[in-house]
Chain A
Amino acid sequence: MTLFLQSALSGVLVGGVYALIGIGLTMIFGVMRVINFAHGDLLMLGMYLTWLLFKSLGLDPYLSLVISAPLLFLWGAVLQKVFVNRVLGALPQNQILLTIGLGLMMSNAVMLVFTSDYQILTTSYSSSSFDLFGLSVSVPLLYSFLVTVGITLVLFWFLSRTDTGQAIRATAQDRDAAQLMGINVKRMSVLAFGLGTALAGTAGALLAPTYYIFPQVGGPFTLKAFVVVVLGGMGSIVGATMGGILIGVTESLSAVYIASGLKELVVYVLFLAILVFKPAGLLGKSRM
Chain B
Amino acid sequence: MRLPMPSLRRPRPAPTRGFSTPALLAWLAVIVAVALVPQLTRKPSLLHLWIMVFLAISQGAAWNVIGGYAGQYSVGHAAYFGMGAYTTMLLLELAQLPPWWGIGLGMLNAVLLSLVIGAITFRLRGPYFVLASIAVAEIIRLATLYWKDFTRGAEGILLSGIPPLQLSETLTVRFVGKQPFFYVALGLAVLAVSANWVVQHTKLGYYFQAIREDQDAAHSLGINLTLHKSVALAISAAFTAAAGAVFGLYVRFIDPNIVFSLPDVSVQMVLICIIGGIGTILGPVIGAVVMVLLGETLRNPKWLVQVGVLGDESPVVAFIEQRLSNAHVLVYGLLVVLVILFAPDGILGVLRGWWGRLGRRAAAAQRPETT
* A–B in direct contact per CB < 8 Å: yes
Q: Which residues of A contact B (CB under 8 A)?
A: 35, 83, 85-87, 89-98, 100-105, 107-109, 111-112, 216, 219, 223, 226-227, 230, 259, 261-262, 264-265, 268-269, 271-272, 275-276, 279
Interface residues on B, range: 35 or more
CB B221 to nearest CB in A, in angstroms, measures: 21
Contact at A268–B326, with CB atoms within 8 Å?
no
Comparing B40-48, B122-130, B306-314, B354-362, the segment that makes contact with chain A is B122-130
* Known A97-B270, A97-B274, A97-B336; contact A104-B330, beta-carbon cutoff 8 A: yes
Chain A residue at minimal CB-CB distance from B137: A268
Contact at A230–B131, with CB atoms within 8 Å?
yes
Contact at B333–A104, with CB atoms within 8 Å?
yes
CB B67 to nearest CB in A, in angstroms, measures: 9
Bound Cα distance A185, B329 (Å): 34
Contact at A219–B333, with CB atoms within 8 Å?
no
Contact at A276–B123, with CB atoms within 8 Å?
yes
Contact of B128 among A98, A105, A279 (CB under 8 A): A279
What 10 A-B pairs are tightest by C-beta distance, nearest first?
Answer: A104-B333, A101-B336, A108-B330, A105-B333, A101-B337, A265-B142, A108-B329, A92-B127, A92-B126, A101-B333
* Interface presence of B351 (CB below 8 A): no
Which chain B residues (82-127) contact chain A, with CB distance < 8 Å?
Answer: 120-121, 123-124, 126-127
Residues of B within 8 A of A261 (CB): 142, 145-146
Contact of B146 among A101, A111, A265 (CB under 8 A): A265
CB B37 to nearest CB in A, in angstroms, measures: 31
Contact at B130–A108, with CB atoms within 8 Å?
no
Contact at A103–B333, with CB atoms within 8 Å?
yes
Interface of B (DSSP majority class) = helix
Residues of A within 8 A of B28 (CB): none
Contact of A104 among B142, B324, B332 (CB under 8 A): B332
Q: Which residues of B contact A (CB under 8 A)?
A: 1-3, 71, 73, 75, 120-121, 123-124, 126-128, 130-132, 134-136, 138-139, 142-143, 145-146, 262-263, 267, 270, 274, 323-324, 326-327, 329-330, 332-337, 340-341, 344
Bound Cα distance A109, B328 (Å): 10
Residues of A within 8 A of B143 (CB): 265
Contact of B132 among A87, A219, A272 (CB under 8 A): A272
CB A282 to nearest CB in B, in angstroms, measures: 15
Contact at B340–A98, with CB atoms within 8 Å?
yes
Contact of A90 among B3, B263, B337 (CB under 8 A): B3
Contact at A105–B131, with CB atoms within 8 Å?
no
Contact at B340–A89, with CB atoms within 8 Å?
no
Contact of B341 among A86, A92, A108, A265 (CB under 8 A): A86
Bound Cα distance A101, B331 (Å): 9
